[in-house]
C-alpha cells in the first residue's frame, strides 16, 4: 500500500544524497564526521560515547548546520537535542507506548474545532 511505497522511498533516500551514494558522501566527509564525533564528547552538554549518533546521523547534522558543514554548530545541535530528549523522556516514553500524554485531558477540554456554526452580523464566518 501507500505506507510500503513511502517506506521504500525513504529507504532509497537514506542510501543516496543528491544522487550520490551515501557511502561515497560518508567517505568524503569522514574527517568532519570524526571531528564532530569528538566534539560532542567535549564541553558543556557533552554526550557519553553510547549517546553519540551513527555516522549517517552525524552527517545529517553537519549538512543542516548553519553554513553547511559547521562542526561546532552541528555539535551544539546534537548536544541540545540530547538535553531535550532527557527533558521530555517521560512524554516520549508514553508516546512510544501508545499511552495518553499528560496534556490530553486539557487539550480535549479546550478543543473547539467545529464549534463555530454561526456567522457574524455581516454573514461573515466567525
Q: Which residue has the higher pLDDT, 38 or 10?
A: 38
C-alpha–C-alpha distance, residues 5 and 2, integer Å: 5
Examine the pLDDT at 5 and tell me if it is beyond 70.
Answer: no
- pLDDT tens digits, one per residue of 13-54: 556 666 788 889 999 999 999 999 999 999 888 999 999 999
Of 71-80, 88-97, 113-122, minimum mean pLDDT range:
113-122
* Summary mean pLDDT of the chain: 80
Percent of the chain beyond pLDDT 70? 71
Banded pLDDT at 8 (limits 50, 70, 90): very low
Q: Is the per-residue pLDDT at 62 higher than 50?
A: yes
The arithmetic mean of pLDDT across residues 57-82, rounded, is 87
DSSP secondary structure of the chain: -HHHHHHHHHHHHHTEETTEEHHHHHHHTHHHHHHHHHHTTSSTTPPPGGGSPPHHHHHHHHHHSTTSS-HHHHHHHHHHHHHHHHHTHHHHHHHHTTPPPTTHHHHHHH--TT---SB-TTS-B-
Q: How far is CA 46 from the centre of its chain?
A: 19
- At 109, the pLDDT band (50, 70, 90 cuts) reads confident
Amino acid at each position: 500500500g501507500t505506507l510500503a511505497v513511502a517506506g521504500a522511498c525513504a529507504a532509497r533516500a537514506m542510501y543516496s544524497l543528491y544522487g550520490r551514494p551515501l557511502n561515497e558522501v560518508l567517505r568524503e566527509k569522514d574527517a568532519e564526521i570524526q571531528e564532530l564525533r569528538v566534539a560532542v564528547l567535549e564541553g558543556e552538554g557533552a554526550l557519553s560515547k553510547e549517546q553519540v549518533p551513527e555516522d549517517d546521523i552525524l552527517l545529517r547534522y553537519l549538512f543542516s548546520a548553519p553554513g553547511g558543514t559547521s562542526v561546532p554548530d552541528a555539535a551544539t545541535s546534537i548536544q541540545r537535542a540530547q538535553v531535550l530528549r532527557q527533558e521530555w523522556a517521560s512524554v516520549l516514553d508514553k508516546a512510544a507506548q501508545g499511552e495518553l500524554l499528560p496534556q490530553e485531558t486539557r487539550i480535549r477540554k479546550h478543543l473547539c474545532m467545529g464549534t463555530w456554526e454561526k456567522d457574524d452580523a455581516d454573514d461573515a464566518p466567525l
